[in-house]
Amino acid sequence: MVAFVAIYALLPGQLAHLRRTELALSKGRLGLRRPGRMDHVVYLDAFTLRLAAAWELQRHRRWPDSSNPHFFVTRNTAVDDSGPSISAGVIQHLFQRVGLPAGRLRVDRIVDEARHSADPVRLMELFGLFNRSATRYVLSAHPDKKHDPITP
């Protein structure tokens, strides 16, 4: 979970509702469904792919008969026949236990990318942000580049 937030700036809610079918390990990508918006494709690096494959293997070892369609499960949701997702609160609690609030980690990742690229379109492509949010991150990372509507 930490890799998905720290590298790809996923939200706890996205992690909670992530389905196994959305993660294509053989293709190295993750397809995030976003109601009311276009789906967002995340291309995973080798490190995250190894972590995801290790979790999938561990999950299968612990709960071989689990039919829960979600990628992340707990001991309670893994055996629940209705296939519920874990709660975002569970994810927040896990991040707090390791001293990394998920929201802060996500924002830090986006700001770091904005510092390096200063390109809102890149932020939109990488993290699936709206143009206004991406522009705010760039302006936050580069306060010297004040937006002036008169000059290009």
pLDDT tens, 67-86? 999 999 999 999 998 999 99
Cα–Cα distance, 107 to 5 (Å, whole number)? 9
- pLDDT at residue 34 in the model: 77
Distances (CA, A) of 96 to 71, 89, 91, 92: 21, 10, 9, 6
pLDDT digits (tens, 9 = 90+) for 17-75: 999 999 999 999 999 887 777 788 999 999 999 999 999 999 999 999 999 999 999 99
Q: With contact defined as beta carbons under 8 Å apart, do 67 and 19 qualify?
A: no
Domains and CATH numbers, the chain: 2-100 (1.10.443.10), 102-152 (no CATH)
Q: What is the pLDDT of residue 146?
A: 66
Separation of alpha carbons 38 and 102, rounded Å: 24
Q: Does 100 have pLDDT greater than 90?
A: no
pLDDT at 136 over 70: yes
* Token pair belonging to 3: 């890799």
Question: Six-digit token pair at 124?
Answer: 């939109």
